[in-house]
Structure 1
Amino acid sequence: MSTFPIFVLLFCFPPVLLSQSFRSLQLPPNAIGPESIAFESRPVTGRFYVGIADGRILQYNGPRVGFRDFGFTGPNRSKRVCDGTIDPDLGPVCGRPLGLAFHYSSNKLYICDVYFGLMVLGSAGKQATQVSAAADGQPYRFCKGLDVHQLTGNVLFTDFGAVKDPRNASKALNTNDSKGRLLMYEPDADRVTVLLKNLSGPAGVAVSQDGAYVLVSNFIGNNTIRYWLRGPRANTYESINFQERPDNIRRTVVGDFWRAAAMVKQPAQSLVPVGQRMEGFGRVSRTISFEAWYGNQLISEVHEFGGELYLGSRFTTFVGVYRF
């Protein structure tokens, strides 16, 4: 589907209209990198959670309160050393939470941390508990995307590839790393199963409402695949969409999905951050450019809530909110 009319519409808006359609929720001082966003189950509160670069999970409590500390992932994390740090060498101590998702009935917040694997936080917050650090005898190298199927409580998540941590992420892109995995954690059995191997940078994951399939975005491979969890095509997959740098995917309340991705801008061949609304067969029904607010810095997540899109990015000190 052509996105040209959407770009024309967006870029023809005068600055005053652009400012009215977008606002930013500023993180605390020295905080950066709200990669993923997880809303609580009670929609009236609008309360949500983000993981940031220094290992903390922050809770947003509305415009009057803003963000406050809720939890952290590093078991030996020191607030004095870690809070506000952007030193990548401190990552193995401070942690780096990426994918976040709630299981509403148990009120558990599941977390993919680059260094500590699959983790979980209860309603009291504070230190996250490690759920799993390896599958099939292979430690997770870069736990990235995460989603929870609400009916079963099963957690679908990704291990990005052979790259060990974010300090080596550019190496994974340059070498076309294809060691990524799709995994599923079953809380009732306390078991992790490897569903797919040899993926090319699996970044985002979103399970369908009925739990029949899961969408996985390959950031390095520039495509999105659909893996069937049950039914006549169970344990098979197909590529359903090609797009530059697809990242996290979030299911909407009506059952389709928002995906963070990029488009190539001519003639400079630069990447423009976009959000794309997509149904389960890969057809994109809407593309929105966020270049006006993010420049050529990519966004990592588009999460629809209350008629607005909440945007994550590992490069910013704010959560973007776009009214569409």
Structure 2
Amino acid sequence: MVRIAEPPACPARIGGARPRARHNRGVAHPKPPLDPVVRRLPPPPPRAARRTGPDPFPPHRLVPLSGHAPEDVVVDANGRLLCGVDDGRILRIDPVTGAEETLATTGGRPLGLEVCPDHAVLVCDAYRGLLRLDPGTGALATVVDSVDGTPLRFCSNATIARDGTIWFTQSSTRHDLDRYIGAVLEHRGSGRLLRRDPDGTVHVVLDGLHFPNGVTLTEDETAVLFVETDGYRLTRVPVEAPDAPEVLLDNLPGMPDNVSRAHGGRLWIAMVTPRNRLLDRLGTTPPWLRKLLWRLPTRLLTMPGRTTWVLCVGEDGRILHDLQADDVDFHMVTGVAEHDGGVYLGSLDRSGILVLDPP
């Protein structure tokens, strides 16, 4: 969810899309103290300098929405699209007719969604934690609202196994969604991969992660795959040996966001923005400089990205399709799902869902 100006028109503008503070959250809390660390990253790969992909960008159309910024998009058993928008509503849309209905309102900010085997929907709410939605009645129930006695904030994405085990990400334990740019400026891994067992027990599987985001299971459910937006990587975690993670893709040319599984052992990864040298270099600047930047208003630190980009990769990390365009009016792609001959994209920058013909 981050875009760094390169070079910046104003040195202060060093972040990503502004999350909209609305509905029942009230006024923004004061900024927490910034605690930067020195972090040296490898140079971005040559692909990061390009603004179009090696594969032709497919034909596309827009499905309009009544709300703004559908951060994730998933498909239910009847082929209808589900997304959460920034006023807290969960929408269901017919991708053919465009007919839309509101299933529920969380009172927070819904991010990642996951359709369960029983057709219920897991909702990662940045302010309320992990929720469960009954799409038939609109009833919302809390699944996880705290971990080890601390409120679960910035719950980002989730995936569920057939036995009911839920794996989910927390992008930062130090910064909320409204202040997410602080996690990026710090270069301090403050995110976690968590697991909720069917008996309700919650475990911290991995911590110290750099903005963990999209997560899904492999087709055979023997491993969990997740990305780190500010870590530029895709990691595989064996279900039976979660303490032995394996990095499948490292030093990605852009910032990955949500992840979804498609048939045939494939994954779709939403790439929210290309890599940026300024952000990488900030990791080696003195902490006092970043603390000084942190004093600026958040609106001066953030600005939207301007590219449309998704990757299709195998479960082994092979890149199968690399689709990027700079002439499509649909930027900051944060969600992606494939279903029945269409690839559906969500965005933090638009009031609609982009439908691609599959490559």
The aligned residue for residue 323 of structure 1 is: 357
Aligned length: 283
The aligned residue for residue 35 of structure 1 is: 71
- Contact persistence 1:256–1:279 (CA under 8 A): yes
> Unaligned 5+ residue runs, structure 1?
12-17, 75-94
The aligned residue for residue 50 of structure 1 is: 83
Q: Post-superposition shift, 1:175? A: 1.3
The correspondence for 2:243, drawn from 235, 241, 249, is 235
The correspondence for 1:307, drawn from 331, 341, 350, is 341
Letter in 1 for 2:166: V
Cα gap change, 1:234 to 1:114, in 2 (>3 Å): closer
The aligned residue for residue 78 of structure 1 is: none
- Contact persistence 2:145–2:151 (CA under 8 A): yes
- Contact persistence 1:56–1:70 (CA under 8 A): yes
The correspondence for 1:251, drawn from 254, 261, 268, is 261
The aligned residue for residue 292 of structure 1 is: 327
Give the distance between the partners of 2:98 and 2:323, measured in 1 at CA: 30
The correspondence for 2:94, drawn from 43, 47, 61, is 61
Q: Post-superposition shift, 1:62? A: 4.2
The answer to whether the aligner puts 1:158 opposite 2:169 as a matched pair is yes
- Contact persistence 1:260–1:273 (CA under 8 A): no
- Contact persistence 1:256–1:277 (CA under 8 A): yes
Cα gap change, 1:47 to 1:200, in 2 (>3 Å): same
- Contact persistence 1:177–1:220 (CA under 8 A): no
- Contact persistence 1:206–1:250 (CA under 8 A): yes
Q: Post-superposition shift, 1:283? A: 1.5
Q: Post-superposition shift, 1:240? A: 1.4
The aligned residue for residue 108 of structure 1 is: 120
Paired-residue identity, %: 26
The aligned residue for residue 181 of structure 1 is: 192
The correspondence for 2:179, drawn from 129, 153, 168, is 168
The aligned residue for residue 118 of structure 1 is: 130
- Please report the TM-score for the alignment, with normalisation by the length of structure 2: 0.73
C-alpha RMSD of matched pairs (Å)? 2.5
The aligned residue for residue 24 of structure 1 is: 62
The correspondence for 1:218, drawn from 228, 244, 253, is 228
The aligned residue for residue 14 of structure 1 is: none
* Structure 1 residues 154-191: Cα deviation after superposition (integer angstroms, max 9, x where no partner): 221101013442220112111124110111122x3122
SS in 2 for 1:25: strand
> Unaligned 5+ residue runs, structure 2?
1-44, 281-304
Give the distance between the partners of 2:154 and 2:55, measured in 1 at CA: 38
Give the distance between the partners of 1:265 and 1:236, measured in 2 at CA: 30
* Structure 1 residues 271-322: Cα deviation after superposition (integer angstroms, max 9, x where no partner): 7431111112211111001432246x32002211112210011111000001
Letter in 2 for 1:293: V
Q: Post-superposition shift, 1:192? A: 1.6
* Structure 1 residues 71-111: Cα deviation after superposition (integer angstroms, max 9, x where no partner): 1212xxxxxxxxxxxxxxxxxxxx1000101112x221111
- Please report the TM-score for the alignment, with normalisation by the length of structure 1: 0.80
Give the distance between the partners of 1:240 and 1:117, measured in 2 at CA: 29
Please list every run of at least 4 consecutive aligned residues from structure 1 whose deviation after the TM superposition is greater than 4 angstroms.
1-4
More strand by percentage: 1
Q: Post-superposition shift, 1:265? A: 9.3
Point out which structure has higher relative CO (alpha carbons under 8 A, 6+ apart): 2
Give the distance between the partners of 2:218 and 2:172, measured in 1 at CA: 24
Cα gap change, 1:125 to 1:287, in 2 (>3 Å): farther
- Contact persistence 2:312–2:321 (CA under 8 A): yes
SS in 1 for 2:56: helix
Give the distance between the partners of 1:291 and 1:302, measured in 2 at CA: 18
Letter in 1 for 2:119: N
Q: Post-superposition shift, 1:122? A: 1.1
Q: Post-superposition shift, 1:229? A: 0.8
Letter in 2 for 1:10: P
The correspondence for 1:96, drawn from 100, 109, 119, is 109
Cα gap change, 1:225 to 1:162, in 2 (>3 Å): same
